[in-house]
Amino acid sequence: MTTIRQEDFIQSVADAFQFISYYHPADYIRDLWAAYQREESPAARDAMAQILVNSRMSAEGHRPICQDTGISIAFIKVGMDVRWDTKMSLAELVNEGVRRAYTDKDNPLRASMLADPDGKRVSTGDNTPAVTHVELVPGDKVEVIVAAKGGGSENKSKFAMLLPSDSIVDWVLNIVPTMGADWCPPGMLSLGIGGSPEKAMLMAKWGMMEPLDIYELKARGPSNRAEELRLELFEKVNALGIGAQGLGGLSTVLDVKVNDYPTHAASKPVALLPNCAATRHAHFVLDGSGPASLDPPSLADWPRLELDLSTSRRVDLDRLTKADIASWKAGERLLLSGKLLTGRDAAHKRMVDMMSRGEQLPVDLTNRFIYYTGPVDAVRDEVVGPAGPTTSSRMDKFVEPVLSRTGLIGMVGKSERGPMAVESIKKHGAVYCIAVGGAAYLVSKSIRASRVLAFEDLGMEAIREFEVRDMPVIVAVDSTGDAVHKTGPAQWRARIGKIPVAVV
């Protein structure tokens, strides 16, 4: 009989969440590097280069890969011959580990969890509670998988009850283009097929933790329906041409996972979950001999890459007018320097509420750019912690009121804008740029100073003013309304030529 001590379990969980905040799994880096070398789309290649460079910097600096350090998830298999030296429940033990990891002094992680999700939505302060799944299995060990899933990719989770005769391939190929780039590709898709609705979802989540092995599968050939589906979907999803960050290109997914389970004769439940560029999971086993120790990957696993910024246009944010930005074209690469405001969901809502009450805003937005971000807290000599872009479409409904009433001329975020937002950008001669989702530590190195200007009570959502130097962004919607997330994937889908391009 093995005895697991409370402190060993808690410390192992805490160490694992710290570990995954700055180490990508080595298989993700290996396959992303291979995809980078194959990629022919310059924009997608550039985005992948930023993700790779960011990943290495995070591994070296022990700071988060992405500012969204995720919802904490744990899958635990408990051997039936295990005894516990604790009075706490397993969920409480995991929560204590999460609390310790997210409030670590040397590498604090962002607390993204909010209580009262349809009410006050108040931060729990330490990213607890985790979502813990437990299974009792034969044996005398405890196997733990922890994962941190960002909101951008979790929000794109899909579930359907298909008819038994429906095609899962058709369903996936219809649904993936509607997910846009909010889930920060290139990543992975994981499907759970069969069982009941909740079983399908859990299988899909579980599949994300499996090693990337699509090329091994290709080489040895499929041995069952799930493996056939993996290969077919891998080829067809990549043929959609969505590409890294939705910019159009050859690699949208680095692997597709399929797990299945028997189901009811009348049903075909299917769950689809994306895993983003910030793929984060770790596995460990406790056998009663003490806390788990996770082997850090070797830095030799990361390619030595330099970013090529030679073709980017340098922009002085402090002297910009609408006339200047009118010449920018969708797809163009820029290096931003100067003063950049920040604000995201809560700040936008508050600004729009103030304007509708006739109140003056605390910050003059005339001829300014705003960056949608919620940074991680700074440590040591950092100006700001990792500060990548958040999903811009959540701010779409604020674009018209803000552009029409404040003089703001530009926005920076990640992934595509909806039609209403694009229309407003065109109407007001503004622009929308993207920074690379999953390159948060790299972006933070462009930020030379930071101060809170307003709404300090909103914490990471406060309005800040960053002083940036050569911050790399891409024009995603130009002042004529041309949108790279529309044109890029359409061009690459046609170029790959395996799936007919829908005429719209």
Residues identified as active-site: 348
Q: Assign residue 464 a region: left if phi > 0, alpha if psi is -120 to 50, beta otherwise?
A: beta
Question: Does the protein bind ligand SF4 through residue 153 (CB under 6 A)?
Answer: yes
Closest-by-Cβ residue to ligand SF4 is 150
**3 state SS of 189:** strand
Residues from 317 through 346 that contact ligand SF4 (CB under 6 A): none
Q: Which of 152, 186, 249, 269 binds ligand SF4 (CB under 6 A)?
A: 152
Q: Which of 25, 150, 207, 489 binds ligand SF4 (CB under 6 A)?
A: 150
Q: Which of 44, 66, 176, 325 binds ligand SF4 (CB under 6 A)?
A: 66
Considering beta carbons, is residue 241 or 388 the nearer one to ligand SF4?
Answer: 388
Alpha helices, DSSP H only, in 343-395? 345-356
Question: Does the protein bind ligand SF4 through residue 375 (CB under 6 A)?
Answer: no
How far apart are CB 440 and ligand SF4 at their closest, in Å? 7
* Cα of 229 vs its chain's centroid, Å: 25
Question: Does the protein bind ligand SF4 through residue 416 (CB under 6 A)?
Answer: no
Scanning 148-156, 213-221, 400-408, 493-501 for contacts with ligand SF4 by CB under 6 A, the matching segment is 148-156
Q: Is the peptide bond before 401 cis (omega within 30 degrees of 0)?
A: no
**3 state SS of 149:** strand
Q: Are 435 and 443 in contact (CB under 8 A)?
A: yes
Q: Which of 277, 443, 476, 484 binds ligand SF4 (CB under 6 A)?
A: 277
Q: Which of 68, 416, 461, 478 binds ligand SF4 (CB under 6 A)?
A: 68
Scanning 145-153, 233-241, 265-273, 323-331 for contacts with ligand SF4 by CB under 6 A, the matching segment is 145-153
Considering beta carbons, is residue 51 or 352 the nearer one to ligand SF4?
Answer: 51
The gap between the terminal CA atoms of the chain, to the nearest Å, is: 65
Distances (CA, A) of 30 to 50, 213, 215, 300, 446: 15, 11, 12, 11, 27
Question: Does the protein bind ligand SF4 through residue 64 (CB under 6 A)?
Answer: no
Considering beta carbons, is residue 152 or 489 the nearer one to ligand SF4?
Answer: 152
Question: Does the protein bind ligand SF4 through residue 437 (CB under 6 A)?
Answer: yes
Residues from 438 through 467 that contact ligand SF4 (CB under 6 A): 438
CA angle 489, 443, 321 (to 5 degrees): 75
Beta pairing class for 463-477 and 122-123? unpaired
For residue 370, count other CB atoms closer than 10 A to its CB: 25
**Spatial distance between the Cα atoms of 412 and 342, rounded to a whole number of angstroms:** 9
The single-letter code of the amino acid at 123 is: S
How far apart are CB 11 and ligand SF4 at their closest, in Å? 25
Question: Does the protein bind ligand SF4 through residue 388 (CB under 6 A)?
Answer: yes
Question: Does the protein bind ligand SF4 through residue 190 (CB under 6 A)?
Answer: no
For residue 293 the two structure tokens come to 């120790």
Q: Are 26 and 282 in contact (CB under 8 A)?
A: no
Considering beta carbons, is residue 32 or 66 the nearer one to ligand SF4?
Answer: 66
Q: Which of 144, 179, 184, 473 binds ligand SF4 (CB under 6 A)?
A: 184
Can you tell me which residue has the tokens 């910097």?
Answer: 57
Task: Kindly provide the residue ranges of all beta strands, DSSP E only, lying in 355-462, ordered along the sequence.
Answer: 369-371, 410-413, 431-434, 447-454
State the DSSP H helix or E strand holding residue 195, giving kind and residue range, or none if neither.
Answer: strand 187-195
Question: Does the protein bind ligand SF4 through residue 276 (CB under 6 A)?
Answer: yes
Partners of 414 in beta bridges? 391
Scanning 20-28, 82-90, 144-152, 400-408 for contacts with ligand SF4 by CB under 6 A, the matching segment is 144-152
Question: Does the protein bind ligand SF4 through residue 25 (CB under 6 A)?
Answer: no
List residues binding ligand SF4 (CB under 6 A).
66, 68, 150-153, 183-184, 276-278, 388, 437-438
